[in-house]
Structure 1
Amino acid sequence: MTMVVFAPDSFKGTLGAADAAKALADGWASVRPADELRLVPMADGGEGTLDAFELAVAGARRVPVTVDGPDGRPVTASWLWLPAAAGHGPTAVVELASTSGITLLDPLLPFDAHSVGFGQAIAAALDAGVDRLLLALGGSSSTDGGAGALAALGLQLSDAAGRPIRVGNRGLANLAAIDASALRPLPPGGAVILSDVDNPLLGERGAAAVFGPQKGATPSQVEGLERGLARWASQVAISTLPVRADAPTPGAGAAGGTGFGLLAWGATIAPGAAAVGAALGLPAALAGASVVITGEGRFDHQSLAGKVPSYVLDAAGVASSSLGGRPPIAVALVAGAIEADATVFAASVSLTDLAGDSAAARTDPSRWLREAGARLARTLAG
């Protein structure tokens, strides 16, 4: 009997991580029904992070909140209250994807989308008296450098005439002064950014250049977004914000630069997948496994830079090093589309290839995930 762990991220826009793990496991069981299967649905700070912590932490509860969405329309979301543990009082997990995420927009608004709702949800958690914040970045709709979120927390941003600037990246071009006197402080236990990328704020690997096109920006608009972020960074550098955030810091470019804004507030940054994996007990689950199957909607050049597949691969390597004479844990990848070299995995399956095209794969992802699980059972376990 083989122990198999299923630890995928969500297949964004089609299937959540828990349903993806179940479909993969059902496919495996159809070929090898006697194997021991463990489901550990993952997240990396993006969509599904609240779900993962809610599953992992006893006593967690969702707190509803209504915020201004990325285009100003009201959005009903929630943040997650976690009970006191490990030397901390109550902790709040706040997820940007559910308050200011790209899935909340149609059409996309590369210059005008903002992160105000994310800041409003953080403020609601602070009002509830939490001791610590876990701030899940990922799935952002905006490229405002986190200015909108900090404005919702009391930061005052004005133009040369002393008037408040517009929210979104568009307003950053006119930013002339920052007043942090009314900015809410961090809670006593601090704030930790859970990020799935290591991009800096500016430059060819920065928020505008890498993520702007995903948010609807044309090449010329990317240049404009970059100028807005550069203006924001230069003003932050001479402001009275708690921390002199550094634009090249890995992760500063996360969520359209929201990572940078939160760093200037005083937050620290940590790999989101590792934090979720620790909460879910994935390292302990891997200790007894022979196979682990991970996955995500699209595996590309960013996937091995902090996203769930790279974390699972590394965690399996650590677990394998302590197995003595046992064979190392085989790590397999399933993705909606595989657009980068996946040879670091023992096996890989593209749902697009299985289904024949991406439209078919997206129409019935559960079916093709079950087929992928069955294929891997035949490939990896004979």
Structure 2
Amino acid sequence: MISPINEPAGLLDFSSKLIRWYHRHHRDLPWRHTNDPYRIWLSEVILQQTRVAQGMPYYLRFVEQYPTLRDLAAADEKEVLRLWQGLGYYSRARNMHQTARLIVQELGGNFPASYAELIKLKGIGAYTAAAIASFAYNEPVAAVDGNVYRVLARIFGIKTDITSSGARKEFTALAQQLLPPDDAATFNQATIEFGAIQCQPVAPDCLLCPFNDVCYAFAHGAQAQLPVKGKKNKVRDRYLNYFVVEKEGRLALRERTTKDVWQGMYDFYLIEAAEETTDLNELESDHVLAHWLEMGEVVRTAGPYVHLLTHQRLYARFWHLRMPPERSLLLPDNMAFYNQEEVEELPKPVLINSYLIQYFFS
């Protein structure tokens, strides 16, 4: 059995065994071949809420487009969001871009070199700050993400709800005790990687696990119960009616400026309803839509498409309105017509982009 957590021999045995596993089994990922804090930070932001297989192409494109922190800081936000398109959680990209500008403008382009300074930056939380500090500077600070919660909870039998207020402090304290101060980078990488490919959420590879002789979850058949996680927030249903206005081959789009999903992205004119509808008469109280229906005609409807977000389920229906070229059309102040090339360059939610590919750009 692993020695009690307060015994140095037990800590050393756990850490050395984990690091040996890492050297044999870790994946060859590009951000593991650099100590550039910018590229490490970029990889960590992209991999929040994103699997490695999905995030890798984005990382490579960002590095190609913005090889340095100054390149990212100098970019237009729309360009950054366009490159981010498809990853979701777009606030990550906005915060990253704003923080890059802050580092260039206020810190002389020098990335902070300690956990204490990193965590002060917008969009950089406790885990990301620890990851950058340890991977780039080998600062002996534990990086605790969902993978680490799972590994520690299962092996050490920790039954604290990981969504509770004290969980991060408890798990971080344990990880900090386990961390070898002279090799923080490897230990943090190893713990995260072990949770990602060995101690997975579903069907962990327990038979070939180097800790199966001491793991609490394996001994008690509790892999499915650990880590303990509170009930998820209720998913909210939303019913979106998009009006795709076309005139002379151009489409009318608008930038989403409110603090809602997809802020800073572009979509069509939207009327949100309390429930799903297939009858335009139920929406004609909207004066903009009423004007458009007088001017043109509905040539196609599509949907509903179901689009899942973390706490929302979107039901989207698209109404394609074609306008005669000879008639003057009023648009809301935040809308404009764009040709196909311009539309393709705009940052758009996946839902909107998928519709355009299916009906306009195929």
Greater fraction strand = 1
Smaller-chain TM-score bracket: under 0.3
Greater fraction helix = 2
The two structures have a TM-score, normalised by structure 2, of 0.28
The two structures have a TM-score, normalised by structure 1, of 0.27
